[in-house]
Structure 1
């Protein structure tokens, strides 16, 4: 048993210090970890508490009250004891070997000597137990990640294998080590981030900038993510079961460097050639016959880019799909062509679809689902099948397919498609049932992880509302002959009540309230926002107020008068609703916001009084704990605040 581990076991774990068996367990756990058995993360916390009296040899803890000369001499004595010469030390602290040699020789300035002592104290200071726990967890995470990735990329290869031709992870580790050291060197050769980036890029090998190192080339940060996604997609599409494992990418052995670099050069040149062919093909399509232009192209990938380009005319995409059928050589090519064709049929405007689109899509999916190339494009097949089911009002089937596509993306790495699948699955789910954070959290997290939000990351509730809007405006396109789904309660209420309020038909509105009491009196409407009838009317009232403000500045006077009159009528309607359905005063929306909170925020004292008379709960809290009093303060309405206070 290693003496260092044994001594550690004697010191750590305060509640076990008096137990010989407990100390033995700690030592066995640490030794097992050293030989490859991962410990439970809870054990790291238990074995390394804050008060563990570990002794650290080899730390540098200078007395900063000493003179500059004494500090430097102490630092030099430390590196001598540790056997650290300048060639080794340049890799430990961010100082070049030339600067270090001047310090060691005693020719450096006083400031440079103090800088040396400071950097040395940072590198070799005594760690606290919190830092040790973090480092041990990181070590465990790296080890676990290494083992899982090795099993995935190189199945059957032993964890301790040191042959880089078998253990491809060693090539990745060598590449990471080289980039890490170059990053440290860049920090030494620049005073600003721009100078560091320039030095770093200048010292990258030219061949690396075009493939393996593309994503970290500073001058290409704005476009590299798109180029890299393109490269990876092309690479994965070119893989087949006939390939014998992963190819070598990093020349560990110099004798094989020329072979590896030549293969990579050829791959980059081929990709560039196809991009040039694609650009020329697009130009020929614009200036001549699309059919002739596509017939003159023999690259399946180049033609597929035209077929999948939604900026091209529909007829051009149809011709490109036909050409893909002619050029397809592998099972994967065939399935890709079918997915492209189905996707085009489903995504085009419903008025542009052929009359037999439903039967045609059904036949194509039936053909592809039995094809040997399905595995290569299973995610996309699930995606288009979900849209096919949705177009037939099969919401449960569509949701299940979108969820399966989301899971397939997680297994196969499909980039942004995973976020889109999550958004679509959530959108369908919200039509099927009410918003439920516990059940819908996974959709939200997948959207955050795999989608872009230029205007900022939305809150969970706001993301749900966007998904619902996405369903009705973009996703849901039923086939001809399929009865469109009802948009649900919010639109129904708006259609049935807007005219009654606009014309001041109060008898008609009173009759509507009695007729619809069972449907809406004590319930939220069927939507992600979970508004009640009262909340919908209040938000419509706020919208009228905003419209009125804009109209006063820009629109004719009679238009502003019309908006103002409608707002007054809507207020009278809310008074009638509260008298008939007082329960509505306490129905909250998807953010826990009650009518009283909204009224207080707007400083609408008259409505605050009406809500309080109807029994509104002053102490109700929204999703972040705010009450109506908070809303009144936010809206800077002292009168609304006084009204709420008096109701307590």
Structure 2
């Protein structure tokens, strides 16, 4: 009974604190508070409130972090109610968090000195060892704000080690993300070296903190979502007032050369001889990968921009977009022709340049790249090849063009999909006929679901949702009966 009573008391305490937490959020949000007719000035409200657990919970949640007035009032009230060394250190950390996770570090001229003093208090505090991971993380952010990137890396590594033994929650994951971002600031992603930070992110539960339906399942997907698409560096790095922003990822000389190249290819009137001379003069720079996490060179950058523009749904600016695509495609031809070594570049996903014109079924560009040595059977990080891409387009001429260089037709994706699986799934009758004729053993190859190509085609025929998925990928409205032809050919 004594044990049960203690449990009930603990439950009641948590429930009461939870109810008060929600009520306090309601009362501190001016818009919501006025809507419910419970608005009171935050200064008066907090002055009379004495539940430290709720105030600490609101501060730890970061809900009002961006609100300078309310976050300051919460910290002040937490400081007034502090009774234990643990409470004291929490207040110090809250002050550090307010500086190092908001633009206050840039707007307050005294921020460097204030943060330095707070870090000294935290490091000398008797409870330091229990909060070492968080404090090392603040030291890393402070070093970043001072443009001391090497020191920041060291502090982040210390934070990671501390988080593995004495830290709960998502700190390990967030530190792993910050360190991955910093390590790839000026270099291409290297899975062999950077995979460890991805594992820290998984172990630290960082993905649980982001409201996304499609969470990343690989290191490369993580980089694309958080570092490239999400621009994590932009939110992570902010130098103190008076410190120069040093987040430029490529040196000024190379940046000037590439910017000039882009200007030349889009200038009107367009002078092709001038562009060719510029390419010949700066071949090494144009062929060399950029020091960014993506690792693409000028050719890859152009191809990715074209791909993005082709997928644009902006009908209003369609004419301007087509004009840009035309100019960039023209530049791609010149780069492939005069800097063929550009084709050797592989980006952070291990994609080679040929994959892009393969996705568009661009016969002329594919032809030029093949003549310059590009291979259609090179695998990216998922095991996809330009051959897989061209099969999805249903272009017989481009498929035959790639076959003319005698590629390896037995390549498989990371999930065991052969070229025949791809052709069967996406309804390419011509590719199925050709592959079966050249590599008949592919009919018996199984993927990681233990399915042969025949079973893939049968699933499309039986499952309307799967047929709609296949049709959306190839962007062709093929009737389901189309897959019956493939089934007939694979059965014999």
Distance 2:239 2:101 in 1: 11
Q: Report the alpha carbon displacement of residue 376 of structure 1 after superposing the two structures with TM.
A: 2.4
Paired with 2:330 and 2:391, the residues of 1 have a C-alpha distance of 26
1:332 to 64, 86, 90: 86
- Aligned match of 1:499: 263
> What does the per-residue CA deviation read over 1:56-79, in whole Å, with 9 as the maximum and x for residues that have no partner?
xxxxxxxxxxxxxxxxxxxxxxxx
2:389 matched to which residue of 1?
Answer: 631
Which runs of 5 or more structure 2 residues have no equivalent in the other structure? 31-38, 407-492
Counterpart position of 1:641: 399
Distance 1:418 1:505 in 2: 54
Of 424, 428, 436, 2:190 maps to 436
TM-aligned CA distance change 1:403 to 1:314, over 3 Å: same
Match of 2:48 in 1: 296
- Asked whether the equivalents of residues 332 and 377 of structure 1 are also in contact (C-alpha less than 8 Å), the reply is no
> Cα offset for 1:485?
2.3
Which residue number in structure 2 is paired with residue 276 of structure 1?
19
Alpha-carbon distance in structure 1 between the residues aligned to 2:271 and 2:244: 32
User: Compared with structure 1, are the counterparts of its residues 467 and 282 closer, same or farther at alpha carbon in structure 2 (3 Å cutoff)?
Assistant: closer
Are the equivalent residues in 1 in contact too, given 2:108–2:241 (CA < 8 A)? no
Larger radius of gyration: 1
Q: Structure 1 residue 340: deviation in Å?
A: 0.9
User: Would the alpha carbon gap of residues 535 and 290 (structure 1) be closer, same or farther in structure 2, given more than 3 Å must change?
Assistant: same
- Distance, in Å, in 2 between the alignment partners of 1:618 and 1:278 is 59
How many Å apart are 1:291 and its aligned residue? 1.6
Task: Describe the shift of the 1:538–1:366 C-alpha distance in structure 2 as closer, same or farther (beyond 3 A).
Answer: same
TM-score (normalizing by structure 1): 0.55
Task: Return the alpha-carbon distance in structure 2 between the equivalents of residues 533 and 577 of structure 1.
Answer: 9
For 1:400 and 1:508, how far apart are their aligned partners in 2? Answer: 48
Give deviations 1:368-423, integer Å, cap 9, x for gaps: 11111212221211222221111222222222322322222221241222211211
Q: Is the 8 A contact 2:147 2:239 kept in 1?
A: yes
Query: Where do residues 578-597 of structure 1 align in structure 2 (5 Å cutoff)?
Result: 578-597=336-355
CA contact (8 A) 2:130 2:166 kept: no
Match of 2:133 in 1: 379
Q: How many correspondences in the alignment?
A: 383
Contact kept? 2:112, 2:240, Cα under 8 Å: yes
Q: Is this contact kept in 1: 2:387–2:399, CA < 8 A? A: yes
Summarize deviations over 1:152-184 as a string: whole Å, max 9, x none.
Answer: xxxxxxxxxxxxxxxxxxxxxxxxxxxxxxxxx
Q: 1:391 to 1:633 in 2, by over 3 A?
A: same
1:457 is displaced (CA, Å) by 3.3
Partner residue of 2:283?
A: 517
Structure 1 617/471 Cα, relative in aligned 2: closer, same or farther at 3 Å?
same
The answer for the alignment partner of 1:529 in structure 2 is 294
Give the superposition deviation at 1:531.
1.3
1:354 matches 2:97:
no
Cross-structure match for 2:461: none
- The answer as to whether partners of 1:350 and 1:477 remain within 8 angstroms in 2 is no
**Equivalent in 296, 304, 323 of residue 565 of structure 1:** 323
How big is the shift at 1:620?
Answer: 2.9
The answer on whether the counterparts of 2:173 and 2:202 sit within 8 Å (CA) in structure 1 is: yes
Q: In the aligned structure 2, how far is the partner of 1:314 from the partner of 1:476?
A: 19
Contact 1:541/1:570, CA 8 A, preserved across alignment? yes
- In the alignment, the residues of structure 2 paired with residue 339 and residue 380 of structure 1 have an alpha-carbon distance, to the nearest angstrom, of 8
C-alpha distance in 2 between matches for 1:635 and 1:489: 36
Distance 1:541 1:263 in 2: 65
For 2:43, what is the secondary structure of its paired residue?
Answer: helix
CA contact (8 A) 2:164 2:172 kept: yes
Q: Residues 242-281 of structure 1 correspond to what in structure 2 (within 5 A)?
A: 258-281=1-24
Q: For 1:390-401, list aligned pairs within 5 A.
A: 390-401=144-155
Q: How does 1:84-233 map onto structure 2 within 5 Å?
A: none
Q: Structure 1: 5+ residue runs without aligned partners?
A: 1-257
Structure-2 residue corresponding to 1:487: 248
